[in-house]
Structure 1
Amino acid sequence: MNIIGRLTRDAEVYTTPQEKKVVNFSVAINDSYRNKQGERIEQTSYFDCSYWISPNVAKILLKGALVELTGRVSTRAWTATNGELRSSLNFHSSTIKLHGGSKKIEQAQAVVKQENKKIIIEEPADDLPF
């Protein structure tokens, strides 16, 4: 399944008790349609998202960024401490495609690219004649 939306907050990296890292973030998806009376109805859905493949992506997943996610949807229901029933939509992302954002996001992308440059170490030449 694919969804496209804007991040509602900066991504955060968490470490599980098994020492695995997960990137958590939230996405808002806006939708609109016309009802039988012809009135335009606006609706926003919020997804709590997770990405397990690489924690480095959290550096560029900043509030306001437009992202396209591929993955699977799940739901979660629980009872809050005050006894109120709660639920959430969850999206387990397998791929993330960044479509745009602000200058802050572009600066973060530049930093990530610079950090990912390969460092080449030159070894001294051998003294072998062949």
Structure 2
Amino acid sequence: MLFTGRITADAQTRTVSGDKQVTNFTVALNQRYKTKAGEKKEKTAFVNCSYWVNPGLAVYLTKGAIVEISGWVEAQTWENRDGKVQADLVCSVDTVKLFGNTTAKAADKTEEKKAQSKKAVAGGEEDDDLPF
């Protein structure tokens, strides 16, 4: 299935079964339409996505980014605490196509992470006597 939507929150990468990594994110799909009475309506569906190919892509999958997803979509059911059956749309992603300026956001996040790691290594202080 091929669909285009907006990412609802920054993607999360986790390690499963030893060394495999999966990137999880949710895409919102909006449908706008008019009723016979001329009233404008909007419906939103959410698709939980799992991407197994490249965990480095998670940096670019940020909240609000527009993506085109190609993959296998299926409905999964589960029971909530009240015993009521619920359903989710789940996609095993084959390809991701990014739209818009997500590169600038990713660069900002990468620089921020580098700065945080420098502070953590140096104990929050800059050491000026290093030769490099």
Alignment TM class, shorter chain as reference: 0.7 to 0.9
Which residue of the partner structure matches residue 91 of structure 2?
A: 91
In 2, Cα distance between equivalents of 1:34 and 1:82: 35
Paired residue secondary structure (1:81): coil
Once the two structures are superposed, residues 69-89 of structure 1 have per-residue CA deviations (whole angstroms, 9 ceiling, x without a partner) of 111211110112332322101
Please state if 1:36 is matched with 2:36.
Answer: yes
Paired residue secondary structure (1:9): coil
In the TM superposition, residue 101 of structure 1 has moved relative to its aligned partner by 4.7
* TM-score of the superposed pair, with normalisation by structure 2: 0.74
- Select the residue among 103, 106, 109 that pairs with 2:104: 106
Which residue of the partner structure matches residue 25 of structure 2?
A: 25
In 2, Cα distance between equivalents of 1:42 and 1:52: 32
Structure of higher CA gyration radius: 1
In the TM superposition, residue 26 of structure 1 has moved relative to its aligned partner by 0.4
CA distance 1:68–1:109, shift in 2 (3 Å): farther
| Structure 1 outlier segments of 4+, above 3 Å | none
Sequence identity (%): 39
In the TM superposition, residue 96 of structure 1 has moved relative to its aligned partner by 0.6
Structure 1 gap ranges (5+): 112-130
Once the two structures are superposed, residues 24-79 of structure 1 have per-residue CA deviations (whole angstroms, 9 ceiling, x without a partner) of 00011111112222222111111101111110100111111111111121111011
In 1, Cα distance between equivalents of 2:77 and 2:101: 32
In 2, Cα distance between equivalents of 1:18 and 1:81: 31
- Number of residue equivalences: 110
Paired residue secondary structure (1:31): strand
In 2, Cα distance between equivalents of 1:75 and 1:65: 24
